[in-house]
Chain A
Amino acid sequence: MSSPVVPPTERPASRNSRLYVACQAVGWGGWTLLYICLLFAQGEVLVKGEVINKQPTPTDLALIVAGNCIGLVLTHLYRLHIHRRGWAQLSLRALLPRIGLASLLLGVAWTGLTWPLLHIFESQGEQTVQISRATVVVYSVFNGTVFMFVWSALYFGYHLFERYRRSEVAVWQLQSTAKEAELRALKSQVNPHFIFNSLNSLRALIDENPAQARDAVTRLANLLRYSLKAGQLETVPLSDELQIVGDYLALEQVRHEDRLRVRIEVSPEAQAVNVPPMLVQTLVENAVKYGIAPRREGGEISIVGRCEGERLLLRVTNPGTLDARGGSTGLGLRNAAERLRLIFGEKARLRLEAQPVGLVVASIELPLAGVHSTPAYRSIPAVP
């Protein structure tokens, strides 16, 4: 499914990994150092859950470091699991029980893994205090569980914040896309210069040829109605579009008279194909603007369309060169190309090229199918 919204900027995976490694190193390293410093400051040692007054021995330090290394490995395995299960995408409600259970299991595992170490050192140490094994285990598991829960809170806190930030960006991008689409819809309306020139010609035509004047009024009305409606329609049959293009060209012929000649050859099967409204109209308007209006002698505009395989091929040709368009920004064509991209993705093509014989050809290629599977385009509000 193609989407008009650019996916919100995600941090690259390598950057995320680096951040994770740094956090783990700083977190565990810092925690170990802090623990050792506290030991030296207080002159107390926690042995199997019992506080004893004595100076910490190298054995105690080794125990702390070893225990924390096991913790580090456990949290790393925990993270692999989180990744594999995609926990970062879960909602807070789904996440909390999972974190709780995971923390408990990790607490148990941590205790279980550090237990043999304690045992080894126990045989060497001079133990004076007798505590029940069960108490020590419960104490150790509880400690580990709380610790793992805090680790999870930090880990998922960061991810939730990132997710929130990204969704904000996505909403903002969606809004601006919708706005651009509205703007484009406005821009694809009939050129006001043309409308007022036509009305001016019509005033003269009313005296000169009342029948032709009445006809021109009808055509102008058709064109305006169609262009107003075009913003709300996704696609129309090519035959509808050509009807309007015909009205438009007839009105231009009122203005330019014999300077404008028109040839339309579109096969019946091509006429049935659905196209975005105002697409052909935009190309034809451009052809008149750059191919006929600036030339004293005028020329011919041809519209040729046919189906080839699974594609519609449509060409609008006018006399002239591409240099003649040097001063223009090509806004109309750019908008048309953008509209095609939104609807058809990469399957449609719009090209403008000069031919050596002094013709400029605008060609469109559209897929015959797939016009209706366009949720992206439909999601854009037509009129607010």
Chain B
Amino acid sequence: MKALLVDDERLARKELRKLLTAHPHIEVVGEAADAAEARQAVAALTPDLLFLDVQMPGEDGFALLESLEPPLPHVIFATAFDEFAVKAFEFNALDYLLKPVDPARLAAALTKIAAAPAAEEGAEPVTIRTDRLHAHDKVFVRQGEQCWFVEVRSIRLLESEGNYTRVHFDGAQPLLFRSLNAMEERLDQRMFFRANRRQLVNLEWIDKIEPWFSGGLLVHIKGGPRVELSRRQAQAFREQMSL
């Protein structure tokens, strides 16, 4: 598994590198001292795992994740002491390590990643990157102090709001800094259907469908909003679903 270390402190990177020597299946392919360097390194080295410092000069770790093109590699945060960040991590069961890093905690975090479903696709990251996102791939979304790694298959609905896209999933609807068109290009067309100019629906989350005015359809999404399809879109929808 290829790992990239992102931390503005040389000594902190060195310390992590040393700790990782105890885990020979992790190969440290590069280091980055800030978000810009990290972006280049991610593009060039396609790591499977990011060790990411939260506080860095310029963009912080969260901003870096927001700017990365999904699918994201696995991410393990490292932070010294930041109550807010730690709260966000715990809330979403994200992996994080507290500095100075406890070797046992590091081992536990790496075990968790090995067990994660996305690890199956991890063997061929280059092909995935150019391809569309898979059901198990993750998208990073942040809103205020909360952040989420959302699995693509758990997204019920994507709604356009200008340059942003509102992502509906279990219990939250944060905004993603990416246009709906850009998201549509990256998503599997067999899973997501463009219901209208503003909305992209995950077909797996459709609860029921009922006829609507002038030949259109009204689609109920499980535990969420309803989406209207015009006659033309309803036609396309029927064609796709009848296959």
Closest-by-CB residue of A relative to B58 is A296
Q: How far is the CB of A176 from chain B (nearest CB, A)?
A: 25
B11 touches A201 (CB 8 A): yes
Q: Is A196 an interface residue (CB 8 A)?
A: yes
Residue in A193, A197, A256 whose Cβ sees the most chain B Cβ within 10 Å = A197
Interface size on B, residues (CB 8 A): 19
Closest-by-CB residue of B relative to A191 is B81
Partner among B10, B15, B82 whose Cβ is within 8 Å of the Cβ of A257: B10
Q: How far is the CB of A215 from chain B (nearest CB, A)?
A: 14
Given contacts A197-B9, A204-B18, A205-B11, whether A295 and B57 have CB atoms under 8 Å apart is yes
Query: Which of chain B's residues have a CB closer than 8 A to the CB of A203?
Result: 15, 100
B10 touches A200 (CB 8 A): no
Q: Is A207 an interface residue (CB 8 A)?
A: yes
Partner among B11, B14, B34, B98 whose Cβ is within 8 Å of the Cβ of A255: B11
A296 touches B57 (CB 8 A): yes
Query: Which of chain B's residues have a CB closer than 8 A to the CB of A202?
Result: 100
Q: Is B55 an interface residue (CB 8 A)?
A: yes
Q: Is B23 an interface residue (CB 8 A)?
A: no
Give A195 to B10 CA distance when docked, in angstroms. 17
Closest-by-CB residue of B relative to A198 is B80
Query: Which of chain B's residues have a CB closer than 8 A to the CB of A371?
Result: none
Q: How far is the CB of A354 from chain B (nearest CB, A)?
A: 19
Query: Which of chain A's residues have a CB closer than 8 A to the CB of B15?
Result: 200-201, 203-204
Query: Which of chain B's residues have a CB closer than 8 A to the CB of A193?
Result: 55, 80-82
A204 touches B55 (CB 8 A): no
Partner among B12, B55, B81, B98 whose Cβ is within 8 Å of the Cβ of A201: B12
Q: How far is the CB of A25 from chain B (nearest CB, A)?
A: 62
Query: Which of chain B's residues have a CB closer than 8 A to the CB of A200?
Result: 9, 11-12, 15, 80, 99-101
Q: Is A359 an interface residue (CB 8 A)?
A: no
Q: How far is the CB of B40 from chain A (nearest CB, A)?
A: 14
Tell me the residues in window 153-177 of chain B with beta carbons closer than 8 Å to chain A beta carbons: none
Give A191 to B14 CA distance when docked, in angstroms. 24
Given contacts A203-B100, A294-B58, whether A208 and B11 have CB atoms under 8 Å apart is yes
Closest-by-CB residue of A relative to B17 is A204
Closest-by-CB residue of B relative to A297 is B57
Give A293 to B33 CA distance when docked, in angstroms. 12
A199 touches B99 (CB 8 A): yes
Q: How far is the CB of A300 from chain B (nearest CB, A)?
A: 16
Closest-by-CB residue of A relative to B19 is A203
Interface size on A, residues (CB 8 A): 23
Q: Is A348 an interface residue (CB 8 A)?
A: no
Q: How far is the CB of B53 from chain A (nearest CB, A)?
A: 10
Given contacts A193-B82, A197-B99, A200-B101, whether A293 and B55 have CB atoms under 8 Å apart is yes
Q: How far is the CB of A358 from chain B (nearest CB, A)?
A: 16
Give A195 to B98 CA distance when docked, in angstroms. 12
Given contacts A200-B99, A200-B100, whether A296 and B34 have CB atoms under 8 Å apart is yes
Q: Is A192 an interface residue (CB 8 A)?
A: yes
Tell me the residues in window 1-59 of chain B with beta carbons closer than 8 Å to chain A beta carbons: 9-12, 14-15, 18, 33-34, 55, 57-58
Closest-by-CB residue of A relative to B36 is A296
Q: How far is the CB of B214 from chain A (nearest CB, A)?
A: 51
Given contacts A207-B18, A294-B58, whether A196 and B80 have CB atoms under 8 Å apart is yes
Q: Is A74 an interface residue (CB 8 A)?
A: no
Give A211 to B22 CA distance when docked, in angstroms. 26
B58 touches A196 (CB 8 A): no
Give A203 to B9 CA distance when docked, in angstroms. 13
Q: How far is the CB of A326 from chain B (nearest CB, A)?
A: 15
Give A208 to B12 CA distance when docked, in angstroms. 12
Tell me the residues in window 173-207 of chain A with beta carbons closer than 8 Å to chain B beta carbons: 192-197, 199-205, 207
Query: Which of chain B's residues have a CB closer than 8 A to the CB of A170?
Result: none
Query: Which of chain B's residues have a CB closer than 8 A to the CB of A195?
Result: 80-81
A293 touches B11 (CB 8 A): no
Q: How far is the CB of B149 from chain A (nearest CB, A)?
A: 24
Q: How far is the CB of B77 from chain A (nearest CB, A)?
A: 14
Give A192 to B10 CA distance when docked, in angstroms. 20
Q: Is A254 an interface residue (CB 8 A)?
A: yes
Tell me the residues in window 54-101 of chain B with beta carbons closer than 8 Å to chain A beta carbons: 55, 57-58, 80-82, 98-101
Q: How far is the CB of B98 from chain A (nearest CB, A)?
A: 7
Query: Which of chain A's residues have a CB closer than 8 A to the CB of B33?
Result: 296
B100 touches A199 (CB 8 A): yes
Residue in B33, B58, B80, B99 whose Cβ sees the most chain A Cβ within 10 Å = B80
Query: Which of chain A's residues have a CB closer than 8 A to the CB of B81?
Result: 192-193, 195-197
Give A239 to B207 CA distance when docked, in angstroms. 73
Residue in B18, B58, B99 whose Cβ sees the most chain A Cβ within 10 Å = B99
Give A255 to B57 CA distance when docked, in angstroms. 13
A204 touches B58 (CB 8 A): no
Q: Nearest 4 pairs between A and B by C-beta?
A: A204-B15, A200-B99, A196-B80, A204-B11
| A residues with CB within 8 A of B | 192-197, 199-205, 207-208, 254-257, 293-296
Known: A200-B100, A201-B15, A294-B58. 17 other contacts (CB 8 A): A193-B55, A193-B81, A196-B80, A196-B81, A196-B100, A197-B80, A199-B100, A200-B15, A202-B100, A204-B11, A204-B12, A204-B14, A255-B9, A257-B10, A293-B55, A294-B57, A296-B57
